[in-house]
Amino acid sequence: MGKILVTGGAGFIGSHTCVEFLESGYPVIVLDNLSNSKQESIRRIEEITKKPIDFYLADMRDENAVRKIFTEQEIDSVVHFAGLKAVGESVEKPLEYYENNINGTFVLLKIMREFGCKKFVFSSSATVYGMNNPVPYVEDMPTSATNPYGYTKVMIEQILRDFCAADPDFRAVALRYFNPIGAHKSGLIGEDPNGIPNNLLPYIGQVAVGKLEKISVFGDDYPTPDGTGVRDYIHVVDLAKGHVCALEYADQHKGFTPINLGTGHGVSVLEMIHAYEKACGHALPYQITSRRAGDIASSYADASLAKQLLNWEAHETLETMCADSWNFMQKNPNGL
Ligand code: NAD
Ligand code: UD1
């Protein structure tokens, strides 16, 4: 059996997905430049699965390094997580975001073409639904973006659509993730952001362990049941399992297919804080502040296409998402 090249496999979602691939019997190779992760996560994946991983410390934009991996290994497919992902930073550093995310994808596709490798799974995002679509989001809605990070996802999806049109044997699945949270049940791997977190869950987790003082709730005047923002939070292990299904789908289906990975249910910021309080067993201080620029009121998936095409659906609950996040935070208060 050929191997799966996982770009960004040392990161949050990539590390959980490596575990699911290995446990389903698929051998993986990881390429990561560790710009937003640590090699310790690779060791921990091996500890969880008791299986070895070939790890390449390399940049995906380095054509020679990527070619070397394809020369040394028999690679059957690429699952592409590597990329920069902070929305605010992308507004300040647009060139770095376009250069890393778009060029990196170009290099991968070019080398895949050189070696006749035809299966690709891409980490897209619900951010491609932009500001103007009604919820729940359905895959055939028009895509758009409001910041450079989001544009890299919209553009890469278009590049994949064009690449599939030009090579009728190529297959690419773009998985549009909603809000991945939680951690592996072992507490060995989880989300380990650099600096002060931008996203709600790692922020709540750091308040819960006492590293940050209080949560800022960005606005309580949205047109939602309690006025705070609503999102479709999905357990990272459910999300990871979706990649195994997506790769099996790509094996059988040519062309470009975008698919939502979400639960189909929205949860508000206040509901999330209260669910986390139950998990950690103490109250979490918070204050209502002004809205964050670029935020929308509500985002959640129509999750039926994933069920139909992949026979995949999310199984974890809000309670287990918070409990697993808290377990990871307690075991790794200072990250990996
Ligand atoms: P992450 O930062 O934890 O993982 C990304 C990994 O890619 C990191 O390990 C980083 O070191 C690596 N990387 C970045 N640039 C690289 C390069 N040039 N060469 C090699 N490695 C490189 O992020 P994540 O949360 O695991 O996200 C994975 C993917 O999913 C990203 O593409 C992200 O945009 C997408 N996504 C994430 C979310 C989310 O909420 N976490 C939501 C939607 C989409
Ligand atoms: C953000 C990004 C999105 C990206 C996603 C995953 C923006 C505008 N959007 O989405 O492009 O795909 O992360 O990386 O940055 N919140 C608070 N206090 C906080 C943090 C967040 O109240 O300290 C609220 C937000 O207003 C939102 C919800 O919590 O209603 C979730 O926020 P977040 O975790 O940042 O995810 P998204 O906004 O969905």
CB 108 within 8 A of CB 102: no
Q: Which of 84, 91, 131, 199 to mutate to test the pocket of ligand 2 (most atoms within 8 A of CB)?
A: 199
Taken in order of first residue, the domains within the chain and their CATH numbers are: 3-182+233-262+305-310 (3.40.50.720), 200-230+265-303+318-331 (3.90.25.10)
CB 32 within 8 A of CB 11: yes
Q: Point out the ligand 2 atom lying closest to the alpha carbon of residue 228.
A: 30
Let me know how long the chain is: 336
Nearest CA to ligand 2 atom 23: 200
Pocket of ligand 2 (CB under 6 A): 85, 87, 125, 127, 150, 179, 198-200, 203, 216-218, 229, 231, 269, 292, 294-295, 299
10-residue averages of pLDDT along the chain (336 residues): 94 98 98 97 98 97 98 98 97 98 98 98 98 97 97 98 98 98 98 92 96 97 98 98 98 98 98 98 98 96 98 98 98 92
CB 186 within 8 A of CB 239: no
Residue 126 CA to ligand 2 center (angstroms) comes to: 11
Alpha-carbon dihedral 273, 275, 280, 283, rounded to 10 degrees? 50
Pocket of ligand 1 (CB under 6 A): 7-8, 10-14, 31-37, 59-61, 81-85, 100, 104, 123, 125, 177, 179-180
- Specify the pLDDT at position 198: 92
Convert the pLDDT of each residue in 112-161 to its tens digit. 999 999 999 999 999 999 999 999 999 999 999 999 999 999 999 999 99
- Is 300 an active-site residue? no
Return d(Cα 189, Cα 183) in angstroms, integer. Answer: 6
Convert the pLDDT of each residue in 61-93 to its tens digit. 999 999 999 999 999 999 999 999 999 999 999
CA-based nearest residue to 80, from 172, 189, 201: 172
| Three-state helix/strand/coil letters over 201-223 | HHHHHHHHCCCCCCEEEECCCCC
Return d(Cα 181, Cα 327) in angstroms, integer. Answer: 13
- Specify the pLDDT at position 248: 97
The residues with which 283 forms a beta bridge, in sequence order, are none
CB 116 within 8 A of CB 180: no
CB 183 within 8 A of CB 189: yes
| Three-state helix/strand/coil letters over 232-245 | CEEEHHHHHHHHHH
Find the ligand nearest to 206 CA: 2
Contacts 24+ apart (CB under 8 A), 86-95: 86/149, 86/198, 87/127, 87/147, 87/149, 87/150, 87/198, 87/294, 88/198, 90/147, 90/148, 90/149, 90/152, 91/147, 91/148, 94/148
The answer to whether the peptide bond before residue 134 is cis (omega within 30 degrees of 0) is no
- Residue from 97, 129, 149, 300 carrying the catalytic annotation: 149
